[in-house]
Amino acid sequence: MGHDPHSSSSEPDLYRDTWVRYLGYANEVGESFRALVPKSLVWATYGVATAYVSADAVDKGKKASKAHSDDPDKTARVTVAVVDTFVWQALASVAIPGFTINRICAASLYLMGRVTRWPLPIRKWTTTAIGLSAIPFIITPIDRSVDYLLDSSLRKLYSTHSSTPENSRST
């Protein structure tokens, strides 16, 4: 939840430096509870995370618009800010961690069914605990991997006019 090093503002970023950042992890929590709750509740957590991603992208677009109000390339800079933020957040906060926690939980539930004689409710609660405890360990590697992926692909498309987008998460 670190501060964006490329931000030109000294005030905290609502979407990255406050408790609001944790809304981006709602789907990982939902995936951790998948064995215990209705699937519709898990999908609702994806809705929360997607709303967070969208709000951050809009926020970064507004900040880029304000920062480049007199720039003839204002529209391009705003577009870059929105697209970069949305793609980064969609991958780093929703898609990759959601898939990762889903697979960790599925594997742990399966393995416990094969190697223990624990009753199903105990295995499901243990799976949820494993999923929740894995979240802090996957965040930084996924964030850095998405930075590398975008730096190696999408960001090369718009890096010809600026060195690094204002909303890059690289630390």
| Per-residue H/E/C for 59-113 | HHHHHHHHHCCCCCCHHHHHHHHHHHHHHHHHHHHHHHHHHHHHHHHHHHHHHHH
Note the pLDDT of residue 6.
46
Note the pLDDT of residue 162.
53
Q: What are the boundaries of each domain within the chain?
A: 19-158
pLDDT class for 103, splitting at 50, 70, 90? very high
**Angstrom distance (rounded) from CA 15 to CA 72:** 28
Instruction: Quick: pLDDT tens for 54-88.
Output: 999 999 999 999 988 888 888 899 999 999 999 99
45 three-state secondary structure: helix
pLDDT class for 115, splitting at 50, 70, 90? very high
**What DSSP element (H or E) covers 28?**
helix 26-32
> Is pLDDT at 1 greater than 80 in this prediction?
no
Note the pLDDT of residue 17.
87
> Is pLDDT at 16 greater than 70 in this prediction?
yes
Predicted TM-score (pTM) of this structure: 0.83
pLDDT class for 161, splitting at 50, 70, 90? low
